[in-house]
Structure 1
Amino acid sequence: MSSSVQGVSGEDRLNYTKAESKAIRRRSLRLLGSMLAPMKWRVVLTAIVVVAQTGVRVLGPALLGLGLNEALPAVLENDDWGPTWFVAGAYAATAIAGAALLAWYDILAAKVTQTVLLDLRTRVFRHTQRLSLEFHETYTSGRIISRQTSDLDTIRELLNGGLTQLVNGVLYGAFTLIALMLLDWRSGVVVVVAFVPLAFLMRWFYRASQRAYRGTRIISAQVIVKFVETMTGIRAGKAFRTEPGNEKTFGKLSWDYREANMKVIRLFGTFEPALMAISAIAIGVVVLWGGVRITWGEFAVGSLLAAVLYVRNFFTPLQEVAMFLNSFQSASAALEKVSGVLEEQPSVPDPAKPVALPQARGHLEFDDVTFGYGEGKTILPDFRLDIPEGQTVALVGTTGAGKSTLAKLVSRFYDPTRGRVTLDGIDLRDLSQADLRRAVVMVTQEAYLFSGSVADNIALGRPDASYDEIVAAAKAVGAHEFIEQLPDGYDTDVNKRGGRVSAGQRQLVSFARAFLADPSVLILDEATASLDIPSERAIQKALQTLLADRTAIIIAHRLSTVEIADRVLVMEHGRIIEDDAPEALKKGDGKFAQLHRAWRESLV
C-alpha cells in the first residue's frame, strides 16, 4: 500500500506537516496537469479569448472620460456631433465585442470543464475497481461515494464558475490598473498604496479559509459515510433499535458540519467589510485629490470620472477573487482526496510479464506460506498444503482458524507475506488477472446479485454465453424451477442486491453463475449458509454436479456439506491439525470427530 500521504490513512486529517502538504499539492497539480495536457491547445485558445475579452471591457471608462472631455465640449461649443457619435459607436462596439467574446469563453470553458470531469470520474471508477480487496475492506463505501459525488461536484463548481471569477478578479484588475496608470499615474499610485493593506487582508483570508474549508470537506465526508452506513445496515438497525443512537451520532455530525460552515461564513463576514472599507477609502482619496487638481486646472472632469470608475472596477472584482478562494479551497481539498485515491496502488499488482495458463488443471500448492493482514498478527504461519487436481477438499475449524484466509489467497485477493501459492506449478503472482479469474472462482455467503435480469447475473462470468447455456447451468444446480416461476422468468429484473429473490434463491443463482463460468478451481466459502436444512439437502446433488471434474475447496460450518468432500482438513490457529477422508476422521477421536458428534446431536 502507498504511504499515508498518498493513501487513505492520512487524507482525512485536518493538519499536515509542511512536507506532507507540499507532497499533496504536487500530487493534486500533477493530476490536474495530466487531465489538461491532452487539451492544451483548447486551453491556450480559451486563455487568448479571455485576455481579449478582458482588454475590451477595460476600454469602457476611458471612452466615457473621452466623451466628457472631448465630445461634450464639441457639441456645446461647436454643435459638432461627430466625436459624440464616434465615442458612442466605440462604446457600443466594445460592449458587443465583449459580450461575444464572453459567450465564446463560456463555451470553451464549459467544454474543458466537462472533458476534465468525464476523465476524472472515469479514472476514479476504473482505478477503484483495479484496487485490491485490502483497500476496499479498509476504505468505506461512503468515502468512495463522497469522492464520486460531492468531491467531483465541488471540482466542477471550481472549473465552471471559479475560474471565471479568478479571471475577472486578477486579469481584469491588472488590466484596470494598467489603464489607470496610463490615464493618470497619480490615481494609480493611490491604488498601489491601498494594495498594501489589501495584500495583508487577502493573505490572512487565504490561510484562514484554507483551514476552514478543509474542515468542511472532512466533516462533509463523515456525514455521508454515516448516512450510507446507516442506510446500508437499516435491517440490523431496525432489528436492534439503533435509531436513537444513530440519530444522536448523525445529529452531532450535522451540528459539526453546521459549525464548520459557520466558521467559513464568519470569515467572509470579516473579509468583505474590510475589503469594502479599503475600496471606499481609495475612491475617496482619488476623488479628493482629483477635485483639488481640477480646481488647479491640472485635471479634467471626464478624466476624474474615468479614474473613479477604474478604481471602483479594480476593487469590485476582488470580491469575486474571494469567491474564487471559496471555490478553490473547497475544490483543492476535494482534489486532494480524489488524487489520494488515484495514488493508491493495488497491494496485489498484475505481473509485468505474466505466464500464460490458457487451460488450468487445478493443482494447488501452498509452499511455506506465511500471511497476516497488514500489521496484524500472523494468520497462516509457515503453511504447507498440496491439493491435487480434481480433488474436493473441505476446510473445517473454529472461527478465526484461517479457513477464509486460505480461500482469499487461492483467489489472490491477497498475496502471501512470505512463500508462494501455485496453480499447476505457477506462482499466482505470475498469472494474468484474466487467466486467474478464468481458472479460480469463489462463491461466498453473500451471493451478491447486481441490478439486471436473472440471466445477466448468471452470465456474469461468461457474458458471451447463450440463453440455452444459461438455462442449462440453472438446471444443473437446481435453480431452473424457481426462476421459471418469477414474473418474467430469466428476464426478471432482480433489483439491487437481488431484492426480488430470497437469500437461498440468490445462492442458487450464484451456483449457476459458477457452473457456467466452468473454473478449474471452485471455492465455496460458507456458500450454503443461507439455505435451510431441506433446501441444503435438495442441492447436495447439484453441488456434486457443480464440483465434478474440478478442484474444489469447501469452507462450511455445516458438516452436511463436508460429507461430499474427498478430503477434510481441520484447521486451528492457521495450522492443519487433521487431514484425511471424512469417514476416516469420523471414526477417530480427534477434533473432527468431536465436531461431527456435536453436529449430529444438534440435529436430534
Structure 2
Amino acid sequence: MSTSTPTRTPAGPRPGGGPGFPGMQGPVSKAANFRTSAKRLVARMRPERTNLLLVVVLGVISVGFAVAGPKILGDAMDIIFDGVIGRYRGGPGAGIDFGALAVVLQWVLWLYLVSSIFAWLQGRLLNKVVQRIVYSLREDVEAKVHRLPLRYFDGQPRGELLSRVTNDIDNISMTLQQTLSQLLTSVLTVVGVLAMMFSISPLLALIALAVIPVSVVVTGQIGKRSQKLFIAQWKHTGVLNAHIEESFTGHQLVKAFGRQKESEAEFQRRNEDLYTASSGAQFVSGLIMPSMMFLSNLSYVVIAVVGGLRITSGTMTLGEVTAFIQYSRQFTQPLTQVASMANLMQSGVASAERVFELLDAQEQEPDPADAALPAQRRGRVAFEDVSFSYRAEQPLIEHLSLVAEPGQTVAIVGPTGAGKTTLVNLILRFYELDAGRITLDGVDITALKREDLRSQVGMVLQDTWLFGGTIRDNIAYGKPGATEEEIIAAAQATYVDRFVRTLPDGYDTVIDEEASNVSAGEKQLLTIARAFLASPSLLILDEATSSVDTRTESLVQHAMAALRSSRTSFVIAHRLSTIRDADLILVMEAGHIVEQGSHEQLLEQRGAYHRLYATQFAAPVE
C-alpha cells in the first residue's frame, strides 16, 4: 500500500439530489425555438412515411367526396327553385321534378357515406402511426437515461426529470393525435373547396381568399406571444412536480420537524406560478378562435351580398350561390380549426423541446470498442495520481495514490464530506477522473466496458434500495438466473432467512413501492444478501450496517467476514467498531489520506483516527 498526500485543500459539498442542495441547477429556461423543435418532431415521423402517405391518400378520397356534396346539393336547389317558379308561371309541365330530385339526393347520400368510411379508415391508421411514433420516442428517452452520466442526475430534481419523460411525452402524444388528423383534413378541405369555388365563381373566390393573409397575420402575432407562455407553463409544471415528489418522499420527515406550513406555502407559491403561466397561455392562445370566427363571418356577409346581386343580374343561379356559400363556410371552417389548434401545437412543441433537451444532454464517454477483461481476476486496485472534483472551482481529491492488494480489507474513515464515498464511486466509473488513472488487476478501468467492470464489483450502499416485487426477486437481482438453492443459501449466510421464514408468504412476500412493509434493518440485510449472491471479486460496503441493530450487526459482521474472504474489500464506516479487523484503515480528510495503518497502529499515533475513536468511545464512557 502506497499513498501520496500533498497539501490539503478544503473540499466543497457534493452536489445534492434535490432543490436547495449545493450544485443543483434549476429547470432549463432557454427561450423556445419553435421552428427547430417542430422540424425535429416532424423528422421523427420519417420511419412512418409509407403509412403517412396512405393516410394522405385516404384523406384525399374522403375530402374529395365530401367536397363534391355542396355542388350536387346546389343542383337539387336549382331543381326545386325551377319547379316553384314554373308552377308560379303556370307553364306546361310546371312543378318540382321529384324523380330528378331523388336521384340527386341519392348521389349526395352515397358521397357522404363513402367519405365517412374513408375518414374512419384514415383515423384508425393515423392513430396507429402516432402511437408508434410516441412508442419510439419513449424508447429513445429510456435508452438515453441509461447513457447519461451520474453527474447529470445530480443536477436535476427527480420530479423535473420525471415530468419530462412522462407528462411532456404524454402531451406530445395528445398533440399529435389531435392535430395531425385535423391538420391534414383541413389542408385538403381548403384545397378542394378552393378548386370548387373557382369553378363556380372566380370573383367570389377572390373575395373569400382575401381573409387568408389577415388570418395568417393574426394567428402569427398571437402564436408568438403564446409560445413563451407555454414554455413557462411546462417549466413550472416540472418545478411543481419536483417539489411534490420531494415532499411526499420525505413526508414523515416534514411532519417530524413540523414543516407542514412551510411545505404548503412553497407548494402554494409554485402552484400560483403554474396557474399564472397556464392561465396566460390559455388566454392568449384562446384569442385565436374568436378572431378567426369574426373574420369568417365578415367574409360570409360580403359573399352573401355579392352573390345576391349576381343572382338578380342573372350571372349566377340560386343553386350556385347556395353551393358557394356552403363552400365559403367549409373554406373558413378549416382555417378556423387550424387556428384553434395553435394552442395545442404550441404546447406540444414546447413539450417536445423539453424532451429534445434531455435527448441532447451530454452522454457519458462511450465504452472502448476493443475492451477486454483482465487475464486474471485477482481484485488488485491501484489509484495512480488521481484528481477529481464535482465542480472545477472546488477541488476534492488531488494527486491521490494508493494500492489495495488482492484479498485485503481496506477501511475508509473520516468526517462527512471527506471524499470516502467519492473514492469508491470513482472505482465504479460513476464519475470520470480529472487526472490520473485507476487500474483493476493492472488494466485501466477506462479500457474496460462499464458493464464488465461493474460485474466484478458488489456494492452495498448506506441508502438501501429495493424494487417493487417479491423478496426472492430482490435477492436474485444480484445474479440473473440464480437458482432457488443459491438464493436461499445467500439469504441464510446473511441472516435474511431467519426473518423471511416468519413472514406469511416467505420469499414470495411482495415488497411495496416504498418498501414500507419491511424494517430499515431488514431492507439492509436484503441488499447485503443481494451482494452476497453476486459473489464479486471486488466488494464495496458503504455504511452497510448502519441501519441494523447491534445484535444483527454482530451477525452480519460474521457474514461479511465470509463474504470478504479471498476478495478485495473497501469498507466505508463511521462506526469504528465494525472495522477493527480491517487489514488497512485509511483516514481521509478533505479528499486526502492523512493516516493509514491498522487499528492498533493508528491509535498509537494519537492523530486523526485517535480523535475519531475518542469521540465515539472515550467521550461516552466519561
Q: TM-score, length-normalised on structure 1?
A: 0.93
Stretch deviating more after TM superposition (188-197 or 468-477)? 188-197
- Residue 357 of structure 1: CA displacement? 4.0
Q: Deviations over 1:272-298 (max 9, x none)?
A: 332222111111111111111111111
CA-based RMSD of the aligned residues comes to 2.1
**1:373 aligns with one of 390, 394, 406:** 390
**Is residue 68 from structure 1 mapped to residue 77 from structure 2 by the alignment?**
yes
- Residue 485 of structure 1: CA displacement? 1.2
Q: Which amino acid aligns with 1:49?
A: L
User: How many angstroms apart in 2 are the aligned matches of 1:107 and 1:66?
Assistant: 34
1:561–1:352 distance in 2 versus 1, CA, 3 Å: same
Matched position secondary structure for 2:438: strand
User: How many angstroms apart in 1 are the aligned matches of 2:482 and 2:211?
Assistant: 74
Q: Which has the higher contact order (CA 8 A, sep 6+)?
A: 2
Q: Which amino acid aligns with 1:566?
A: D
User: How many angstroms apart in 1 are the aligned matches of 2:607 and 2:188?
Assistant: 82
**1:12 aligns with one of 23, 28, 31:** 28
- Residue 452 of structure 1: CA displacement? 0.9
Aligned to 1:33: 43
User: How many angstroms apart in 2 are the aligned matches of 1:216 and 1:160?
Assistant: 21
1:281–1:164 distance in 2 versus 1, CA, 3 Å: same
**Is residue 45 from structure 1 mapped to residue 54 from structure 2 by the alignment?**
yes
Q: Deviations over 1:131-171 (max 9, x none)?
A: 22212222222122212322122111112111122123333
User: How many angstroms apart in 2 are the aligned matches of 1:31 and 1:524?
Assistant: 45
User: How many angstroms apart in 1 are the aligned matches of 2:330 and 2:376?
Assistant: 73
**1:564 aligns with one of 551, 558, 581:** 581
User: How many angstroms apart in 2 are the aligned matches of 1:324 and 1:10?
Assistant: 31
User: How many angstroms apart in 2 are the aligned matches of 1:242 and 1:129?
Assistant: 35
Stretch deviating more after TM superposition (169-178 or 413-422)? 169-178
Q: Is the 8 Å Cα contact of residues 587 and 608 (structure 2) preserved in structure 1?
A: yes
Q: Which amino acid aligns with 2:60?
A: V
Q: Is the 8 Å Cα contact of residues 163 and 324 (structure 1) preserved in structure 2?
A: no
Return 5+ residue gaps in structure 1 as ranges. 1-7
Stretch deviating more after TM superposition (123-132 or 80-89)? 80-89
**1:140 aligns with one of 152, 157, 180:** 157
User: How many angstroms apart in 2 are the aligned matches of 1:93 and 1:316?
Assistant: 23
- Residue 28 of structure 1: CA displacement? 6.0
Stretch deviating more after TM superposition (98-107 or 241-250)? 241-250
**Is residue 515 from structure 1 mapped to residue 532 from structure 2 by the alignment?**
yes
Q: Deviations over 1:121-140 (max 9, x none)?
A: 23222321332221222222
**Is residue 392 from structure 1 mapped to residue 409 from structure 2 by the alignment?**
yes
Aligned to 2:515: 498
**1:402 aligns with one of 419, 442, 456:** 419
Stretch deviating more after TM superposition (342-351 or 144-153)? 342-351
Q: Which amino acid aligns with 1:215?
A: A
Q: Which amino acid aligns with 1:407?
A: V
Q: Is the 8 Å Cα contact of residues 396 and 556 (structure 1) preserved in structure 2?
A: yes
**Is residue 281 from structure 1 mapped to residue 281 from structure 2 by the alignment?**
no
Q: Which amino acid aligns with 2:225?
A: A
Q: Which amino acid aligns with 2:231?
A: R
Aligned to 1:585: 602
User: How many angstroms apart in 1 are the aligned matches of 2:287 and 2:127?
Assistant: 33
Aligned to 1:444: 461
User: How many angstroms apart in 1 are the aligned matches of 2:460 and 2:449?
Assistant: 21
Q: Is the 8 Å Cα contact of residues 410 and 570 (structure 2) preserved in structure 1?
A: yes
Aligned to 1:294: 311
Matched position secondary structure for 1:539: helix
Pairs aligned (count): 590
User: How many angstroms apart in 2 are the aligned matches of 1:156 and 1:172?
Assistant: 24
User: How many angstroms apart in 2 are the aligned matches of 1:339 and 1:151?
Assistant: 10
1:32–1:168 distance in 2 versus 1, CA, 3 Å: closer
Matched position secondary structure for 2:546: coil
- Residue 91 of structure 1: CA displacement? 0.7
Stretch deviating more after TM superposition (323-332 or 75-84)? 75-84
User: How many angstroms apart in 1 are the aligned matches of 2:593 and 2:543?
Assistant: 19
1:359–1:492 distance in 2 versus 1, CA, 3 Å: farther
Stretch deviating more after TM superposition (380-389 or 320-329)? 320-329
Q: Which amino acid aligns with 1:410?
A: I
Give the alignment of 1:312-323 within 5 angstroms.
Answer: 312-323=329-340
Aligned to 2:67: 58
Q: Is the 8 Å Cα contact of residues 376 and 441 (structure 2) preserved in structure 1?
A: no
Q: Is the 8 Å Cα contact of residues 25 and 155 (structure 2) preserved in structure 1?
A: no
Matched position secondary structure for 1:557: coil
Q: Is the 8 Å Cα contact of residues 348 and 414 (structure 1) preserved in structure 2?
A: no
Matched position secondary structure for 1:111: helix
Aligned to 1:190: 207
User: How many angstroms apart in 2 are the aligned matches of 1:390 and 1:572?
Assistant: 25
User: How many angstroms apart in 2 are the aligned matches of 1:29 and 1:353?
Assistant: 37
Matched position secondary structure for 2:548: coil
Give the alignment of 1:218-297 within 5 angstroms.
Answer: 218-297=235-314
User: How many angstroms apart in 2 are the aligned matches of 1:9 and 1:496?
Assistant: 28
User: How many angstroms apart in 1 are the aligned matches of 2:190 and 2:399?
Assistant: 70
Q: Which amino acid aligns with 1:239?
A: A
User: How many angstroms apart in 2 are the aligned matches of 1:429 and 1:567?
Assistant: 26
Q: Deviations over 1:53-103 (max 9, x none)?
A: 122211121111122235753795566445423321221121011100110
User: How many angstroms apart in 2 are the aligned matches of 1:305 and 1:71?
Assistant: 13
Q: Deviations over 1:387-442 (max 9, x none)?
A: 11111100111122111110100111111111111111111111113211211122
Q: Which amino acid aligns with 1:382?
A: H
**1:205 aligns with one of 201, 222, 227:** 222
**Is residue 345 from structure 1 mapped to residue 362 from structure 2 by the alignment?**
yes
Aligned to 2:325: 308
Percent of paired sites with the same residue: 34
User: How many angstroms apart in 2 are the aligned matches of 1:599 and 1:371?
Assistant: 30
User: How many angstroms apart in 1 are the aligned matches of 2:598 and 2:522?
Assistant: 31
Q: Is the 8 Å Cα contact of residues 11 and 336 (structure 1) preserved in structure 2?
A: no
**1:554 aligns with one of 531, 548, 571:** 571
1:124–1:601 distance in 2 versus 1, CA, 3 Å: same
Q: Is the 8 Å Cα contact of residues 348 and 413 (structure 1) preserved in structure 2?
A: no
Q: Deviations over 1:523-580 (max 9, x none)?
A: 1111111123333223221121121111000111110111121001111221111121
In terms of fraction of residues, the more helix-rich structure is: 1
Q: Deviations over 1:298-342 (max 9, x none)?
A: 111111111111111111222321232121111101111112212
Q: Which amino acid aligns with 2:339?
A: A
Stretch deviating more after TM superposition (527-536 or 380-389)? 527-536
Aligned to 1:4: none
Aligned to 1:3: none
Stretch deviating more after TM superposition (414-423 or 212-221)? 212-221
**Is residue 96 from structure 1 mapped to residue 113 from structure 2 by the alignment?**
yes
Matched position secondary structure for 1:522: strand
**Is residue 105 from structure 1 mapped to residue 115 from structure 2 by the alignment?**
no
Aligned to 1:429: 446
Aligned to 2:433: 416
Q: Is the 8 Å Cα contact of residues 357 and 435 (structure 1) preserved in structure 2?
A: no
User: How many angstroms apart in 2 are the aligned matches of 1:396 and 1:201?
Assistant: 68
User: How many angstroms apart in 1 are the aligned matches of 2:501 and 2:561?
Assistant: 23
User: How many angstroms apart in 2 are the aligned matches of 1:210 and 1:352?
Assistant: 44
Aligned to 2:9: none
Return 5+ residue gaps in structure 2 as ranges. 1-23, 87-92
Give the alignment of 1:125-164 within 5 angstroms.
Answer: 125-164=142-181
1:28–1:143 distance in 2 versus 1, CA, 3 Å: farther
Q: Is the 8 Å Cα contact of residues 161 and 238 (structure 2) preserved in structure 1?
A: no
User: How many angstroms apart in 2 are the aligned matches of 1:519 and 1:31?
Assistant: 44
